[in-house]
Structure formats: C-alpha cells, structure tokens
Amino acid sequence: MSKLINVTEIFGENVFSDKVMQERLPKKVYKELRKTIDEGKELDPAVADVVAEAMKNWAVDKGATHYTHIFHPLTGVTAEKHDSFITAPRADGTVLMEFSGKELIKGEPDASSFPSGGLRATFEARGYTAWDCTSPAYVREDAAGAILCIPTAFCSYTGEALDKKTPLLRSMQAINDQAIRLLKLFGNTTSRKVSACVGPEQEYFLVDKQKYLKRKDLIFTGRTLFGAMPPKGQELDDHYFGTIRQRVASYMKDVNEELWKLGVSSKTQHNEVAPAQHELAPIYAEANVAVDHNQIVMKVLKKVACQHGLQCLLHEKPFAGVNGSGKHNNWSITTDDGINLLDPGKTPHENIQFLLVLTCILKAVDKHADLLRESAADVGNDHRLGANEAPPAIISVFLGEQLEDVLEQLISTGMATKSIKGEVLHTGVKTLPDFTKDATDRNRTSPFAFTGNKFEFRMVGSRDSIASPNIVLNTIVAEAFAEACDVLEKAKDFDIAVHDLIKEYATNHQRIVFNGNGYSDEWVAEAERRGLPNIKSMVDAIPALVSDKAVDLFAKFGVFTRAELESRVEIQYEAYAKAINIEAKTMIDIAGKQIIPAVIHYTKELADTIVSVKEAGAKAKVQSRLLDKTSDLLEAAEYALDKLSEVTSIAAQKAEGEEQARYFHEEVMPAMDALRMPVDQLEMIVNKELWPMPSYGDLIFEV
C-alpha cells in the first residue's frame, strides 16, 4: 500500500512563503519586504541582503546547493542558469556558502541567445533577470539535487522586455490602477489593490514511454504526423470522467504530492474526453503567480511521467481524430479585501457596479477581439480552433440567459427591473433532494464564457504560457475602465451618467454576445453578418499585434513599446516557420526511411505469395487486388513525398518573416496533409508486424 499523504503537512513545505519569512526574517525586515510585495515600494539593498541570507539558509537546510533565476523568455518555456552557493575556498581548504542581496535581485543571462526579434544583436549580449518578489521562491528537487528557484523578469541591457513576465506585471499594474479608480467612483475607500486572478485548467495526454520512443514524430514535434484511427476512438464518451486507470492514478498521486510541496494548489483531476487524455486544475492565484505555477505544473507532469514509464504529451493536437488539449484560462478581478468585481450577486439588475464592469469587458473584448484571438495563436492550436472539440476561431462572449435578459432590458428600455431566478430542479426521484439550479446554463462552444463570477477564456493551447492571454485581458479591460472613468469623473450626476454608460456599452457591443451553438455553420454566417473577425490561423492572427489600435493601447498603459511589439511579431512568424519546417522534415524522414521501405517489403512478400499460390494451381485474385491497391497507394505516397520535399526546400529559400511563414502555411501544410492521406490508408493494409511504429490504438488505449 502506498504511503498516505497529509496535505496540510506537506503543502508549501518547499516554498519560501510568508510564514517562512515571518519565522526567519527580523520583524523590521519582514515589514519592509511586505511593503515591497504589497505596495510596490522600492527594496532597500540592506533589506535585500538580509532576505537573501535567510533565503539561502532556508534552502541549504532543505539540501539546496545551487540557486537559479527562473524566467520566461519568448521561447514559450522557462529558462534557468544554476549557480552554486559556494564562494572562494578559504585557507583551511573549506568553502563559504554565501548569497547576497545583489545576487537575489539581479542575474545576468546571455540575452543574445534567446529570441528577441531584433531587440538584441548577437554582439549585444547583456541581459538581466530581476527578482519578482510577489511570486514566492521555492526549492525544486530533481536529478540535479535541490535547487533554490527564484521567479524573475527578464529584460535587455537597454530595458526592453525579452520575456512574458515583464509585460504581464505591467498589465497587472494597469488594471489595478484603473480598477481602483473605478471603485473610488462608487464610494469604495477601503480597497487598496485590485488583482487579476487566474485558474488555468491543464489538459494533457499520457502514453507509454517505450511506445513513444518508437515514434520519431512524437519525439521531434510532439504530435503524430501519421496515424490511422483505431476501430474505437472517443465515440462512446466512456473515457470522460470515467474511472481513472490504476497506473494513471498512481501517476496523478505523485504529481499532486510534488505540486503541493511547491505550493501549487492542484485541486481537480479527471479523465478528459479522448482516450489517454486527462486534466488537472488548480485553485486561483494572482496572474503572475498563476503563470509561474502553470510552468511548474507542466514540468512536473513531464518529470513524474518519466518516473512512471510514461510520456506526457502537451501538444494541442497529438492525435488526429480525437480531441486535442487546451488550457482554459479562468480570469477574474478581485480586491485585496475580498470583493470579486465579477460577482453579480443575487439580483444582478440592481448591481450597478457589476453591470458597469461587465459592459466594460464586453466593450474591451469586442474592440480587441483580434488581439485576444492572437493571444491564443499557436502552431498546434491551429489544429484545434474551429473544430467541434474546441471554441471556434471567432471571438464571442457567452453571458447566459440571466445576464443576457438584463442587458436586453437595459438596451430596450434603459432600465433593468428584474433578474431571472434559478428554478428548483426536480429529478422525479423521491430519495434525491430537490435543489435550486443556476439561473443560466453553460456553453462549452463559447471562446469567452461568463461562468458565475469569472470569465473562462477557452482558446488557450495546452503547451502555451498563459501570460499572453492575461496580458491582453488585463490591458484591454484596463483601457475600458479608464475610458469609463474619464466620462464618469466629469459627470454632474453620477447615477444618471453610469446608467447611461452601461446602456451605451451594452447597446454598442451587443454583437459580441452569443449564447448559441458556436460549432454551427449558421454561427459562422451570423458572425460575418455582425462584422466579427474570423481569424483561422496563427499566421493570420499575428498582424493584430502591430495594428495602430494595438500599438496605441499597449503604449498608453506602458505594457509594450512599438519596438517590443514588432519584435514579437518577428518571433511569432519565425516560430511558426521553424515548427512547420521541423514537422515537414520529420515527415520526409519517416516516410522515406521507415514507411516506404516497410511497404515495399510488404508488397514483395505479397508478390511472392501470389506466385506461390498460382504455382499451386489456386486463384490469387484477392492477393492481386490487394497488391494493386497497395502499389497505387505506395505510388501516391512517393509522389506526395517528392512534392513535400520540393515545397519544403522552396520554403527554406523564402525571406524570413511573414513571407516564409505564409508559404509554410499555404504550401507546405497542404503538402503534409497530402502525404499523410495515402500513408494512413497503407497503415490499414500492411501487416502490423511490418509497420515501423506503434499505432494509435497502441498509444492511446494501452496505458
């Protein structure tokens, strides 16, 4: 029997938490550090030295020998450089273990070797990591031993953001400033801070490690580039919320234990829709902490999988024909004294502050739908969005019957007088309790859905950092709040002005509200009629970053400069081209070196069989027809392989940037699909013993 876990004893034991700081820091130092964390007060170097010494001693007590600044470069994953606490040896042959405030506050990784989109040249190497003291440091235990991990931001020598954390922190400051401004207009004098809080649901696949290692496509690209569907997929819906297999349950137990030690509040776990697909969801945290925690979650999922002889796949679409994986970004805004600005209360029609916040968000999402779509743009996500498994590529907002009814009252009469109440749910079974159901249903086809006291942005890809969508959400809502405050602060009669503003926003932006089936063809036509953008691919989404509207927005709140936005556009195009190039070259390699030789071997065996059968005086019609069919498909595969090789070579000659990315999207991707088609048909014909890689059935049903 496995060891029982006491969550309350282990939770946060490897985190330099507030409790640890109170225990290990002098009271005066602790208070000064809290002022920096809570109020943004500049940190005194003398205070930093004391904090660094206490942090080092705590980490060493836990077995740490090294420390690292964890940062979020524009690669989409975290980066780190490990330094030992050891200083120069002493005369007696021993060494000192030291860690200064300067080392805590600032690190210096090479800035030229990370994607910078032209912000840094190769000869301009200096970059800095700066301690984000609002996200707790922690000790991570792995094969390298115990390492003190310090969350940081990453910027260039000239001050530009080279990461995802810096603009996220800027956006958090923007929404805090404008939300406090809004609350003061409603007479709130007690709330000192408003935070964007996030709870990201993480979907993932688990496959057997040995089978994974036999698939070059999974190794090199994270997804299967070939693969015929097995006789059974997810049609029966029997995997979703089904009993968790013992091997997977053991894995989940170890994942939870490790996450809890690191202070990550892993709460929910279950089987997802597709076979071998699962989900983990944490409790909410402030946006920057949630971003750090989600990176920890992805690392732990992969690390623990290896310990169980499994491989964790985080690609958005590792298997064609079954659901892909997303990362639902649950976003809310709350005050430091516990007020959720997205809580409608029992009578939303009377909650004027909530209605203003809600309509500001409708305005923000409608005005910047293209930016929000771009924030979820990813090579893998192109395979999900728009299919009947994920939200459509069209941004819309689901409010539910209750709030939609309130808005319709406001639009039609200028006054909302009632709110739809939740009715009693009668099950028809006497032994089951009757209870009040929610006033509105849910809609899983909506990209941006209101779910009671938060918005769920469902478009984010499973591999992606959640920093980008939250940067956009924070900034566009901050802009809407600021514009509302500009009007209300000048109003002679606040009550009349706020009612007029709510009606104006509800009327002007009602086109973004859609409660129906986002998967239907009718919605695509209706969205076009409403003038909503339908951005179908990552390549088409990228230009939104440098529109005049976006540049003005981000500059106004100091989140991005034009140069920082232009650099991200260049990086995005380059990332897309590189990813598709790797996939195309992997297909060429697998088809040329593994699949076609295996099919030729099969046709030779089949031809020999036909000769033997005919020599025995028997008919070989079935064998001959099978040989003809296989040969035709082999010829089609060879032709498609040659075509893919040709267009991939042409793509390499294209000018880097948008031209190359578009060529990969418009020419190379269709050529990849054309090669896959005959190969997948051949997989259904060729003997399993001859097929050079595990099938879909082997991968998703044998875990």
Look up the CATH number of the domain holding residue 206: 3.30.590.10
Same-domain status, 184 and 122: no
CA distance 669 to 379: 11
Q: Is residue 549 part of a domain?
A: yes
- Confidence (pLDDT) at 123: 59
Contact predicate 63/38, CB 8 Å: no
Same-domain status, 487 and 631: no
Structural domain for 254, as ranges: 172-560
Q: 549 is written with which tokens? A: 């509207």
Q: Give the CATH number, domain containing residue 51.
A: 3.10.20.70
- Confidence (pLDDT) at 122: 58
Q: Enumerate residues 6+ apart whose C-beta is below 8 A from 121.
A: 112
Same-domain status, 147 and 180: no
CA distance 270 to 25: 41
pTM score over 0.75: yes
Q: Where are the alpha helices (DSSP H) in 88-152?
A: 101-105
Kind plus residue range of the DSSP H or E element containing 30: helix 27-39
* Residue 272: closest CA among 232, 310, 237, 303: 237
Same-domain status, 140 and 183: no
- Confidence (pLDDT) at 534: 94
Q: 621 is written with which tokens? A: 């019609």
Same-domain status, 213 and 269: yes
Q: Where are the alpha helices (DSSP H) in 239-286?
A: 246-261
418-452 pLDDT, tens digit per residue, is 888 776 666 677 766 766 666 666 777 899 999 98
Q: Is residue 568 part of a domain?
A: no
Same-domain status, 551 and 615: no
Amino acid code (one letter) for 371: L
Strand 329-335, strand 455-457: pairing: antiparallel
* Residue 443: closest CA among 452, 451, 431: 451
Give the residue from 508, 533, 560 where a domain finishes.
Answer: 560
Rama region for 460: left / alpha / beta (φ>0; ψ in -120 to 50; rest)? beta
Q: Is residue 565 part of a domain?
A: no
Question: Residue holding tokens 């916040």?
Answer: 357
Contact predicate 679/595, CB 8 Å: yes
Same-domain status, 545 and 589: no
- Confidence (pLDDT) at 582: 98
Contact predicate 437/420, CB 8 Å: no
Give the residue from 560, 583, 607 where a domain finishes.
Answer: 560
- Confidence (pLDDT) at 235: 74
Kind plus residue range of the DSSP H or E element containing 633: helix 621-653
CA distance 115 to 221: 19
Q: Is residue 252 part of a domain?
A: yes
Burial class from Cβ neighbours inside 10 Å (0-12, 13-18, 19+) for residue 4 reads exposed
Main-chain dihedrals φ then ψ at residue 694, nearest 5 degrees: -60, 145
All residue ranges of the chain with pLDDT < 50 are: 1
Contact predicate 504/410, CB 8 Å: no
Same-domain status, 337 and 208: yes
Same-domain status, 181 and 143: no
**Count of the separate structural domains present in the chain:** 3
- Confidence (pLDDT) at 442: 72
Rounded to 5°, the CA angle 295-300-305 comes to 135
- The 8 Å CB, 24+ separation contacts for 157-162 are 157/111, 157/124, 157/126, 157/127, 157/128, 158/119, 160/119, 160/561, 160/563, 160/564, 160/567, 161/560, 161/564, 162/73, 162/74, 162/111, 162/114, 162/116, 162/119, 162/120, 162/127
Q: Is residue 87 part of a domain?
A: yes
Please report the DSSP string for 296-349 in residue order.
Answer: HHHHHHHHHHHHTTEEEE--S-SSTTS---B--EEEEEEETTS-BTT---S-GG
Q: Where are the alpha helices (DSSP H) in 519-561?
A: 521-530, 538-541, 548-556
CA distance 8 to 22: 19
Q: Is residue 566 part of a domain?
A: no
Contact predicate 376/573, CB 8 Å: no
Q: Tell me, what DSSP letter sits at residue 384?
A: T
Main-chain dihedrals φ then ψ at residue 455, nearest 5 degrees: -110, 140
Q: Is residue 2 part of a domain?
A: no
CA distance 645 to 1: 54
Amino acid code (one letter) for 692: P
CA distance 623 to 571: 53
* Cα radius of gyration rounded to whole Å, the chain: 28
Same-domain status, 511 and 617: no
Give the residue from 130, 162, 194 where a domain finishes.
Answer: 162
Q: Give the CATH number, domain containing residue 658.
A: 1.20.120.1560
| C-beta neighbour count of 343 within 10 angstroms | 16
- Confidence (pLDDT) at 437: 61
Same-domain status, 89 and 11: yes
Same-domain status, 132 and 255: no
- The widest CA-to-CA distance across the chain, in whole angstroms, is 103
- Please count the residues of the chain: 703
